[in-house]
Structure 1
């Protein structure tokens, strides 16, 4: 039985990678691998994606001292932090998670249901799998005691935010399928790979990946999506929610180095939190996989 829903299968078919996806599907398990347990215990952050009560999809960042992520069962983790604005979880919610360690270019993705508990979340996992190190920029974190500012909302990117988007080398994208099952994924490349076409339109290339098409498969059935753009030097977080569509035209992709296809994101709401993360990171060592 395939772990992929019909949107993922449709995307895999359009890309001509059904066989490759079927092969790598063996990586997906409901059980946390033994080697992932110490990895999770060492992490100071995790990215969470989910839909809010209105159906808007957001990606956000949870942080804590190493140990704030703990494995308490074969398919259960506890997160010692809860998301705030713009994604407040007050009842059991389908979530996608990605724990990523830029310093070693390791990451693991997890999908399941988050239950609010005292001091954080308990997540019952349904899918757990590791990802390759492609497109992860190497960085080393330090911690700041600066307090986060109040969320500032808008309906479009400011000029400053457009400029920042055009210089970023990393962002995260959250999507869901029609049943609300959520996924959180990483996107990386050399600065300029993400383009702010206008105050309400972003575009990025989809590079060669793991052939699962979790993000693009969700977009086949549900265009709602959320982006998280972290400022690694200040800790400021820019959250975006809106809709995304995949441009499968190979002629359009051919104009962008390394692109297999393009993704266009329409902004509906922006929430900026100055110093939203207490982590500060060193300058990047760019991935050798980044198309130039």
Structure 2
């Protein structure tokens, strides 16, 4: 079996965690109608055009110590260049970001989002190049997501950043409390990393966070990953200043939550990094 055939086999259809969540949520039929989105990707045509016009993305990957983080990426239109099944990102997390100098040859999940037109596009695969001015992802999956929970707003400013706080527990509560959107990074032992955009309020309960799992497209990429691996990362962004709060930790699913869907996610950070604009 060729490398391409092996990759296609591993990424074909939903994995066991996604299927388990779909069954428990009672949406197997609805989800099955979307399974074709997981076919091996080709980043051309409309996808390449959409990517080439964007100026903001978010990536999930591991730092040199193998800790999972989710981080913002900024660049002028054209900094995302798609060709075939490879996405070149003509930037990288800067100094001060937890994913600065992230190693290559690891799974990476990228979400490209444009708040003004309420569109987003996921690219999951292997980070094959990591340089201070370039990341390249060989895509295993690439598909658009619905506009639910994307509120029109300007992009956060692309400022140089410096670490202002770092701890092994939770920090940045003020930014969390005023945020109405955030990004969730998860991972699967075979499918790799994934980045998801989430809308809604995140609640602080002591040293943990929780949020309602809202109705969505029924694919359950994030919850499916958490079913197989509780490792997770969160990113909160101040859209006025560009400040970023990065949280790395573990998450679990609460199936008896007092929410619309009866589901919630509880997250316990093991490492927090707050970065702010620096000169």
What is the TM-score with the length of structure 2 in the denominator?
A: 0.88
Check conservation: 1:78, 1:122, Cα contact below 8 A: yes
User: Could you say which residue in structure 2 is the equivalent of 1:289?
Assistant: none
Measured in 2, the distance between the counterparts of 1:94 and 1:241 equals 16
Q: Which runs of 5 or more structure 2 residues have no equivalent in the other structure?
A: 1-8
Kindly report which structure 2 residues correspond to 1:68-217, keeping only aligned pairs within 5 A, or say none. Answer: 68-71=79-82, 73-84=83-94, 85-87=97-99, 88-118=101-131, 119-141=133-155, 143=157, 146-150=159-163, 152-158=165-171, 161-179=172-190, 181-189=192-200, 193-198=201-206, 200-217=207-224
Deviates more, 1:40-49 or 1:114-123: 114-123
What is the TM-score with the length of structure 1 in the denominator?
A: 0.85
Check conservation: 1:93, 1:113, Cα contact below 8 A: yes
Cα deviations by residue, 1:30-76 (Å, 9 ceiling, x for unpaired): 112521111111111111012334442211111111111011x2211
How well do the aligned residues superpose, as a CA RMSD in angstroms? 2.0
Equivalent of 2:22 in 12, 19, 24: 12
Shift of 1:151: 5.4
The reply to whether residue 45 of structure 1 matches residue 56 of structure 2 is yes
The reply to whether residue 26 of structure 1 matches residue 33 of structure 2 is no
Deviates more, 1:107-116 or 1:161-170: 161-170
Question: The residue matched to 1:218 in structure 2 has which SS?
Answer: helix
Q: Which runs of 5 or more structure 1 residues have no equivalent in the other structure?
A: 279-292
Q: How many residues align?
A: 264
User: Could you say which residue in structure 2 is the equivalent of 1:268?
Assistant: 270
- Relative to structure 1, is the Cα distance of residues 60 and 3 closer, same or farther in structure 2, using a 3 angstrom cutoff? same
Cα deviations by residue, 1:197-232 (Å, 9 ceiling, x for unpaired): 12x200000011111111000110100000000011
